[in-house]
Copies of this chain bind each other. A is one copy, B any other.
Amino acid sequence: MTWINGQFQSSLPVSDRGLAYGDGIFETIVCINQKLHLWFRHWQRLQQGAKQLVLELPEQQTLLNWIEQALADKNNPSLAVVKIIITRGSGGRGYKCPEQPQPRTIITIHPWLEHNDNDYQQGISAIVCQTCLSLQPALAGIKHLNRLEQVLAAQELLANNCREGLMLECAPAANDTSAKKIVTEGVSSNLFFVSRGQLFTPEITYSGINGTIRSELLERAQALGIPLATGRYELQEILNADEVFFTNSIFGILPVSKISYQQGQNSRHYQQRDVSMQLAKSLNPELQRPCQFNTL
């Protein structure tokens, strides 16, 4: 079931710092016909995470061997999701790291998630979450194991029977009332929007995760001649946009048909799909996800 540093294991020592402090990073990667989708981007993000946390990674080839071994144990399914967790291992006194950390790389193989064609054709409904994303430049961008904000936001999604939600930056403590509502990303995805033919996505500088599909689209948009900007955008700009879509490494590009805001009192519907369809045609088939939207 689980491989730790290349050894078949059923469980983890409770002394692991991944459990104690969330002291580690992770990736979830779609594997199609024994090929890891956008592996180099996942590896780049692992390297960035290791740099920010001062954490030692295994060699790239060692990690790939361990993944191959774990997949072989599942008879190499043609579609699967590989989850990698790399922790700082056990030890240290309190929060302090041990002098010679022995990191653990934990690999588990999960079933590919079936999609609902309707989500891609009609688009999904999203809420604006009450749970905000705190500003922490030292942790922004990387996929670390401190994810309670996402867990709390996902509880809101469950309560609203919603698949995704927009997460705003937390307002500064001193100045709550006049604070701008800056959108960072989705609960488990990045966010893009289109206004007058231009594509925008929030910068990931103070909070949020640098998604692999997000990075990929930054390049593909350029290749497709779609003008793209990154920056700090207010919720109102997204509500005024022509198109909105979410991206992640599992579902690819998923259009948004509706955003409910002001705690569900108001909503905005989106019908245009020009740019998102163009990008989805380029990317979604690689993840075996649909790219034909009903434009209604």
Binding site for B on A (CB under 8 A): 2, 4, 9-23, 26, 53-54, 85, 87-88, 94-97, 106, 108, 131-132, 134-139, 144-155, 157-158, 169-170, 172-175, 180, 182, 187-188, 205-206, 232
Given the complex of chains A and B, what is the CA–CA distance between A11 and B4 in angstroms?
Answer: 13
- Contact B147 A22, beta carbon cutoff 8 Å: yes
The one of B10, B20, B154 in contact with A145, judged by C-beta atoms closer than 8 angstroms, is B20
Residue pairs across A and B with Cβ atoms less than 8 A apart, 6 shown, are: A14-B106, A20-B145, A96-B154, A131-B138, A137-B170, A173-B182
Determine which residue in A85, A180, A206 has the highest number of CB atoms from chain B within 10 A of its CB, and name it: A206
- Contact B21 A95, beta carbon cutoff 8 Å: no
- Contact A148 B139, beta carbon cutoff 8 Å: yes
- Contact A85 B154, beta carbon cutoff 8 Å: no
Determine which residue in A10, A145, A148, A155 has the highest number of CB atoms from chain B within 10 A of its CB, and name it: A148
Given contacts A134-B136, A135-B170, A187-B95, contact A21 B54 (CB under 8 A): no
Given the complex of chains A and B, what is the CA–CA distance between A138 and B130 in angstroms?
Answer: 10
- Contact B170 A152, beta carbon cutoff 8 Å: no
- Contact A21 B148, beta carbon cutoff 8 Å: yes
A9: chain B residues at CB < 8 Å are 14
Q: For residue A22, which residue of chain B has the nearest CB? A: B22
A139: chain B residues at CB < 8 Å are 134, 148-149
